[in-house]
Chains A and B, each alone.
Chain A
Amino acid sequence: MTSLRQFWQSGPRRDPNTVAYIVLLVVAISFPILATVATGGQGEVMINVAADAGVYVLLAVGLNVVIGFAGLLDLGYAAFFAIGAYTYAFLASDHGRVTPLGEPIHLPFWIVLFIAMFVAASFGVILGAPTLRLRGDYLAIVTLGFGEIVPRIFKNASVWTSGVNGISALDIPALPLWLQGPWSGDPFAIVPDFKIISPLAYYVIMVLLLIISVVLVRNLHRSRLGRAWMAVREDEVAAAAMGVNTVAVKLLAFSIGAAFSGFAGTFYAAKLSLVSSENFGFSVSITIIVMIVLGGMGNIPGVITGALLIYGVIFILLPQMPEYATGFANSVGLSGLTHPSGDFPGIGEFISRLKFLIFGFILVVVMLVRPQGLLPSRQREQELQKGIAHEDTVIEDVTAEVGG
């Protein structure tokens, strides 16, 4: 009998990801229904949170191309996210009026999505072209710098960006035409210029964007380009000697990653209807990297799972933990703990102060238990078994020497 583990390890040919994709798709489709049923018709909040989480999933899928596929450590990924968000803010709000331009620009969301992708990708090329000739560590530092510079520019170029106030009242995305009917509780009618305001609509758009993105990234991964990325990640010299233009291939990975970030930024800005330079700091870049590493670098379903999980921990579990702790203390008869006494600030506040310690602890435990990530790519899994190679392969090349 073949166990699941054996099936998984049986070789690079069989693809257990198919199962993961189906599970993820089922979860994505059933989530709004489950949320609505579970909360007795009050699921909007949860659906809203899920749509926000989708932004991070999109970011993780994009950064996975850069880090997971091509092996380029990009520490400034949030910069492209900011560029995408600000692109939407400039091109779809009244903000233009208060800039030296003097005219508001109102382009439709759907068009700005692609413009933002293009703009972010262009910045990716501008940053990547001079730096991708460098080896890994240098690239990490350069991108780190870029990630710090971009939000600072948005913060300080206040003539154009309103500085710390950010840009608010961005256009609400609209569909040019919409057929309303009993399904939305309205009489039948054709509504022109239909404004998208319900969380469910954002959720649906997000899921659609994600499905398209995942299909495209998966296609890339299984193509000529995907192979070239893998090769560059493993051995750049050998890849070049086999005819791969390593700089071009890395640049492409970098700008495709940036394009995703710009894409996600536009959605984020449109949904929040506000952009502020505070939202694109280094911690955003790091969070996305954590999602990728924890989920399983290089494996798309893994990265999606990691993104959802980390998002859940950071934005749902941690903020609510003080509340849970207080409730728990009350229910087990330790209600004395909930009030401050002496140096002890009360259990709720205590837990709230320990929030990031707990987060760090969760990360350390997960990485110790599953260093390859939750749903790792096969390559990654193999790499972590480096010491225990197949016995045939450990024959030493006795005549190998330097030079020759």
Chain B
Amino acid sequence: MTVQPAAEPILRIDHVTKRFGGLVAVDDVTFDVKRGEIFALIGPNGAGKTTLFNGITGIFPPTTGRVVFQGGEITGSPPHRVAALGIARTFQNIRLFEYMSSLDNVRLGQHCRMHAKLWDSLFKTPAERAEEKRVTDNAIELLKFVGIEKYTHVYARNLPYGSQRRLEIARALATSPALLLLDEPAAGFTPQEKVELMSLVHKIIERGITVFLIEHDMKVVMGVSRRIVVLDHGEKIAEGTPEQVRNDQRVIEAYLGKQH
């Protein structure tokens, strides 16, 4: 890979804490994601990884702390504004629009990049038609990019499982993000599918999009990302290169349990 991470972080998580009542799901976590890198967040089940994603994207705003994206604070912004600013995400348990075709799912992803107003839609103005055409072409291009163009007109729910994950990535890419959050993109995949997915992630990086992924399979993460943060019980217990993380005593304990 030739993409050189720039010095300025694209995303800064600054002392973020999320409490649900008495439960501290994310506890004072701080780290940076650099522009152009593949950054991974790992940790055992219930470590607070998805909660952190929800905090970044505004679904459940953090209790305290700041989220800074491209120099601007986005803490507590509603999800649609976060998406418009350039953060797209996928969901751990796939959340496609099941009764919309793959094409419509991806076209919907471009919603926040479209300009048609109520008036344009009501009267199908030439500008609206042109925009629809552009959006459709772009959607087909994205479906090709993730390799599921043969399902263009199939309802999302009727796609095979692996293609649904790919469709979710295509839908996220449709929002023209600067930062793509992937929440366990390889969950339920066979080893072969995992390899294919990782090559897709590299293709995404080549488009100039920073990828921040959650994965709980250590092997997958080690193969793809340069920098890793490890969460356990809501706390950051390690940060560094795959080698550093792999040899970190606390990480080993978190995954395998303490040695006595």
Residues of A within 8 A of B (CB): 11-13, 216, 219-220, 223-228, 230-231, 234-235, 237-246, 252, 378-379, 382-383, 389-390, 392-393, 395-401, 403-404
In-complex Cβ contact of A238 among B78, B97, B135, B174 (8 A): B97
Q: Are A219 and B121 in contact (CB under 8 A)?
A: yes
Chain B 147-202 residues near chain A, CB threshold 8 A: 153-155, 157-161, 164, 171-172, 174-175, 183-184, 187-188
Q: Are B104 and A241 in contact (CB under 8 A)?
A: no
CB of B47 closer than 8 Å to a CB of A: yes
Q: Which residue of B lies closest to A399 (CB)?
A: B187
Q: Which residue of A lies closest to B160 (CB)?
A: A392
Q: Are B97 and A234 in contact (CB under 8 A)?
A: yes
Between A and B, 12 residue pairs with Cβ closer than 8 Å are A13-B101, A216-B122, A223-B128, A231-B111, A234-B98, A237-B59, A237-B95, A243-B109, A244-B108, A244-B111, A393-B161, A397-B94
Q: Are B109 and A389 in contact (CB under 8 A)?
A: no
CB of B83 closer than 8 Å to a CB of A: yes
User: How long is the Cα–Cα vector from A315 to B78 in the complex, in angstroms?
Assistant: 48
Chain B: how many interface residues by the 8 Å CB criterion? 67
Q: Are A243 and B83 in contact (CB under 8 A)?
A: yes
Q: Which residue of B lies closest to A404 (CB)?
A: B50
User: How long is the Cα–Cα vector from A124 to B153 in the complex, in angstroms?
Assistant: 35
CB of B216 closer than 8 Å to a CB of A: yes
Q: Are A234 and B188 in contact (CB under 8 A)?
A: no
Q: Are A403 and B45 in contact (CB under 8 A)?
A: yes
In the complex, chain B residues whose CB is within 8 Å of the CB of A246: 80
In the complex, chain B residues whose CB is within 8 Å of the CB of A223: 116, 120-121, 124, 128, 132
In the complex, chain B residues whose CB is within 8 Å of the CB of A216: 122-123
User: How long is the Cα–Cα vector from A223 to B130 in the complex, in angstroms?
Assistant: 12
Q: Mark B80-116, 1 if CB is under 8 A from A, else 0.
A: 1001100011011111111111001001110111101
Highest count of chain A CB atoms <10 Å: which of B124, B175, B214: B124
Q: Are B95 and A389 in contact (CB under 8 A)?
A: no
In the complex, chain B residues whose CB is within 8 Å of the CB of A383: 99
Q: Are A404 and B111 in contact (CB under 8 A)?
A: no
Q: Are B99 and A390 in contact (CB under 8 A)?
A: no
CB of B46 closer than 8 Å to a CB of A: yes
SS of B interface (majority): mixed
In-complex Cβ contact of B187 among A392, A397, A403 (8 A): A397
CB of B51 closer than 8 Å to a CB of A: yes
Q: Are B83 and A241 in contact (CB under 8 A)?
A: yes
In the complex, chain A residues whose CB is within 8 Å of the CB of B184: 399, 404
Q: Are A401 and B123 in contact (CB under 8 A)?
A: no
User: How long is the Cα–Cα vector from A398 to B93 in the complex, in angstroms?
Assistant: 11
Residues of B within 8 A of A (CB): 25, 45-51, 57-59, 78-80, 83-84, 88-89, 91-101, 104, 107-109, 111-114, 116, 118, 120-124, 128, 131-132, 135, 153-155, 157-161, 164, 171-172, 174-175, 183-184, 187-188, 214, 216
Distance in angstroms from A301 CB to nearest chain B CB is: 19
In-complex Cβ contact of B118 among A225, A382, A393, A401 (8 A): A225
Q: Are A228 and B108 in contact (CB under 8 A)?
A: yes
Given contacts A13-B153, A382-B155, A403-B51, contact A219 B118 (CB under 8 A): no
In the complex, chain A residues whose CB is within 8 Å of the CB of B122: 216, 219-220
Given contacts A242-B109, A242-B175, A404-B214, contact A379 B100 (CB under 8 A): yes
Q: Are A401 and B121 in contact (CB under 8 A)?
A: no
User: How long is the Cα–Cα vector from A383 to B184 in the complex, in angstroms?
Assistant: 27
In the complex, chain A residues whose CB is within 8 Å of the CB of B59: 237, 240-241
Q: Are A392 and B83 in contact (CB under 8 A)?
A: no
In the complex, chain B residues whose CB is within 8 Å of the CB of A245: 78, 80
Given contacts A234-B99, A400-B188, A404-B46, contact A244 B93 (CB under 8 A): no
In-complex Cβ contact of A224 among B111, B157, B216 (8 A): B111
In-complex Cβ contact of B124 among A11, A219, A235, A379 (8 A): A219
User: How long is the Cα–Cα vector from A228 to B96 in the complex, in angstroms?
Assistant: 13
User: How long is the Cα–Cα vector from A326 to B159 in the complex, in angstroms?
Assistant: 58
Q: Are A240 and B101 in contact (CB under 8 A)?
A: no
In-complex Cβ contact of B57 among A224, A239, A241, A389 (8 A): A241
Q: Are A400 and B93 in contact (CB under 8 A)?
A: yes
Known: A224-B111, A238-B97, A244-B80. 10 other contacts (CB 8 A): A224-B128, A240-B80, A241-B88, A241-B89, A242-B109, A242-B174, A243-B83, A395-B161, A399-B188, A403-B48
